[in-house]
Amino acid sequence: MCHVIVTCRSMLWTLLSIVVAFAELIAFMSADWLIGKAKPSSSDDVDNRTGGTQEPYHPTLGIYGRCTRISHMQLSRRDTLCGPYAENFSEIASGFWQATAIFLAMGIMILCAVAFVSVFTMCVQSIMKKSIFNVCGLLQGIAGM
């Protein structure tokens, strides 16, 4: 019975490790770190298909990406373009955001490595008399700092 509980707990930990690694990666790639005030709607914001007004536009900025409005695409349902504004590392918005990018990237790499190793904990639970769970937990704590 105890072995079943340990196995279920390790499966849950493995699943959550993978989910957190992907969530961190998605957060890093997101352009929604800073969301600006809604731009006031004008007569150009009328949706030609429905006759109603479109949702107000919110400019956004991420660590290295942003979303901007494309003014000449009024017939398109999606009139915003999201992508990187920084072509290289020195073009990231500020020194603080550059530090955030470095530390977040390092944390994501550690979390992805732990998620990868956690799959193997189903078969092997210790190496050289050290619990893989303890080592991976320590790495996850370091990545979360």
**String of b and e for 52-80 (b: at least 16 CB within 10 Å)?**
eeeeebebbbbbbbbbbeeeeeeeeeebb
For residue 6, what pLDDT is reported?
64
List pLDDT tens digits, range 34-74. 888 876 555 555 555 555 556 677 788 888 788 877 766 55
Q: Is residue 68 helix, strand or coil?
A: strand
For residue 103, what pLDDT is reported?
92
Q: Which residue has the higher pLDDT, 87 or 106?
A: 106
Q: What is the rounded CA–CA span in Å between residue 70 and residue 49?
A: 18
Q: What is the rounded CA–CA span in Å between residue 132 and residue 98?
A: 33
- Give the chain's domain count: 1
Q: Which residue has the higher pLDDT, 121 or 137?
A: 137
Is residue 44 situated within a structural domain?
no
Is residue 12 situated within a structural domain?
yes
Is residue 50 situated within a structural domain?
no
Neighbours of 50 (CB within 10 A): 8
Is residue 81 situated within a structural domain?
yes
Is residue 49 situated within a structural domain?
no
* Range of the structural domain that residue 119 is part of: 8-37+55-144
- Radius of gyration of the chain from Cα atoms? 22
For residue 107, what pLDDT is reported?
92
Is residue 3 situated within a structural domain?
no
What does pTM read for this prediction? 0.70
For residue 22, what pLDDT is reported?
92
Is residue 31 situated within a structural domain?
yes
* One-letter amino acid for residue 80 of the chain: T
Is residue 72 situated within a structural domain?
yes
For residue 106, what pLDDT is reported?
93
For residue 102, what pLDDT is reported?
93
Q: What is the rounded CA–CA span in Å between residue 30 and residue 108?
A: 14
